[in-house]
Each structure stands twice: as structure tokens, then as C-alpha cells.
Amino acid sequence: MDTLTHALSGALLARLLVARGDMVASTHSAETLQKPKLWQCVLVGTVAGAFPDIDAVAQAFGDIAYLTQHRGITHSVLMLPLWAAAVAWLMTRCFANTRAAPGAFKTFFALAAGGIGIHITGDWITQFGTMLLQPLSVQRFGLGSMFIIDLAFSGFLVAGLMLAAMFPRRRWPAALGLAAAAGWVGLAWTGQQEAESIAARYAQSQGITAPEVVVMPRPASPFNWTVSVFDGHDYHVAHLNTRRTEMLDPQAPALFPPAFVRRYSAPYAPVDQAVWTRVPRFGKPGTPPWVQEAWAQPDFGFFRWFAQTPALIEATDQAGQRCALFRDLRFDFPGREGGPFRYGVCLPAKAGGAAGLFKVEGGVRLPM
């Protein structure tokens, strides 16, 4: 998920854990003056909720570092206590009234652990994948039910925070906001199960044995999905809505859903009207065999590890330089032409030489 939504979730969880009534025992006691204030607790939750995305600095060291390190060590459940302690210590030093307060670190540690934990959970429910067991394992885990940016999910968090501000002595507004967000995730999970069932029926109808099914959440609705069924050579791909009974006209005059929602949602057809297309993993018949040799280059291992549905975009052989460009179907969807994470590899000119790596951004080929 986006960092802003993570920060909101950390703030709302902190607000659930702490209410203004917890902060006030005796307005004249020295102990109460040293206690963390409600806004300080919420700020700790906000900072902790955003903290794991500090690993985005890996982008400064290049794309390979970003893909292999983002959602890694700072998103590990094994490392969570260490990061929570670091955030708690830093935040206690930021406020004059908590530096010497006997229970401030303990309070901030609990809030920081919750904020980091809800961040990790928020990334786990998406499809990018999160290395929960770093540094022991680089395996990526993901429920895969939610699109990376979901305005409804973020909206529930904002609404919960607004209600919590109106009722500072009550916890129920925060509980309500988090419950609504969790319910939305449950609705998306339901759509995911429906999409997987549709994929299984399609594979059976096509006589595809042992299919590899990947369903990919899409924007604007928990029932918008891109469904992929891999038969060993081609991906069978359809953009569909698991609940829609008729096509959605993006130009139709209507107040609900809003125009931008209709625009993003319109390409997803009812199941019985979905168009299935074939996308070859390594190109159409006649694609030169060196493409798979390029794919297998050791230097291209980072993309083989990352990509869940890799597919060839193009293969070029110019002046003796043979290069193959690949994408991951997870990040391509209607209305988003030329998606991210498009990487290519060129075979070494001489035996034993190093492969050349490149990426394509905005239609421009850039070296790596």
C-alpha cells in the first residue's frame, strides 16, 4: 500500500489503543505531566505506520537494489521488536515531557509495534509480496486481495480518525474505522475467491491440465480482476468483474459511481462477456531460441525471482546484439499502458562475458 495509507492505519490503531481518558489522572500531579499526551501517542503510531517504507532509499542504489530490498528487512515480523524499540526510543527523545517519564518508552514501544505490525499487514494483503521472514528467508508472502492503492480502504481510515477526533475519550470510533477497513479487505478476498473459481472453470473448459492460476486485483472495485491461466506456454488472460451482469458505460450520465471510478472500472467485463486473450511467456511461434537463453542469464536472476507472471515484450537482434525485454503481467492493466518493472537483458557478445541489463521507462530504454 502507499505510505500515506500506512501512516493513517498506524495513527488509527494508536487511537484505538489510547484515549484521552487514559492520559488524565490528576491534572496537578507531576506524574501526569510526564505522561505522553494523546496527540503524541497518535504521532508515534503515525510514524511507526510509515516507518517500514524507509527501505525505499534502496532506489538510490538502483532498480535491482530496490526490487530485492523493498519490503524486506524493515517489513520482517522477526525484526519488528527491534524496529519498534528504535522508533519508541527516538520518539521519547523528541518530546520534553517523555524523556524522563518512567512509562513513556513502554507506552511508545507498544504503539510503535502496533504501527509497524499494521503496516506489514497492509502490505501483506496486496500482491507485490512482502519478505516477512527476513533475514532468514527472502521468500515473498502476499494474500493478493487488494490493489496497491484503494481509495475506499484509505477513506475508512480517514473517517475513523475524524470520528476519533470528535470523541477523544472514546475508542469506538477507531474500532469502527478499522473494522470497516477490515471488512473491505474481506470483500476483496471474496472477489479473489470468485476470480480463482472462474479461472479454474475456464481451465477445465479449455482442457488445461495443472494450470498455474494467478488472479490480480485491479482498481476501483473489489470485484475487478485480471485473471491469468498459464498452460505451460501461454497465459490465458481476461479482465473481468466477478459480480457485474452488464458492461459499464464510462460515459453514461450518472452520479454513482463517480466518473473516475466508472472510467477505471469500465474495462472489466461480466464473466460471460469476458474476452480471453493469449500472451506467450517467451513469444509467439518463431521467436528465436536465444530468448530463453537470455532469460536464464545469471545477471537476470533478480527479475526471475521477482516476477510472478513474466512475459516477453520484444526480442531484438541488431548489429549482433541480441536483447530480450520482459514485463510482469501483474503490473499491466487496461488504462495503464507501459507499466512499471520492465526489464531486459542482452546476451554477452563473447562467451563467458557479462550480460547487459536495461530497463524501459516511458518508452525510453535506459541502461542499468
CA atoms of 310 and 328, how far apart (whole Å): 4
Q: Is the pLDDT of residue 77 over 60?
A: yes
pLDDT digits over 180-215, tens only?
999 999 999 999 999 999 999 999 999 999 999 999
Q: Give the number of other Cβ atoms within 10 Å of residue 62's Cβ.
A: 13
| Residue 40 near residue 34, CB atoms below 8 Å | no
CA atoms of 245 and 276, how far apart (whole Å): 17
- Kindly state the average pLDDT of the residues 274-296: 94
Q: What is the pLDDT of residue 119?
A: 98
Domain ranges of the chain: 3-143, 191-280, 290-367
Main-chain phi, psi angles of 330, to 5 degrees = -60, -30
pLDDT digits over 110-122, tens only?
999 999 999 999 9
Beta-carbon contacts of 272 under 8 Å, excluding residues fewer than 6 positions away, are: none
CA angle 330, 336, 338 (to 5 degrees): 80
What are the CA-CA distances from residue 238 to residues 36, 40, 180, 245, 277 (Å)? 53, 48, 30, 16, 7
Cα 291 to its chain centre, rounded Å, is: 30
DSSP code at position 300? G
Please tell me which of 16-20, 45-49, 96-100 the model is most confident about, judged by mean pLDDT. Answer: 45-49
- The DSSP bridge pattern shows strands 343-346 and 321-328 to be antiparallel
Q: Give the number of other Cβ atoms within 10 Å of residue 136's Cβ.
A: 10
- Kindly state the average pLDDT of the residues 234-255: 88
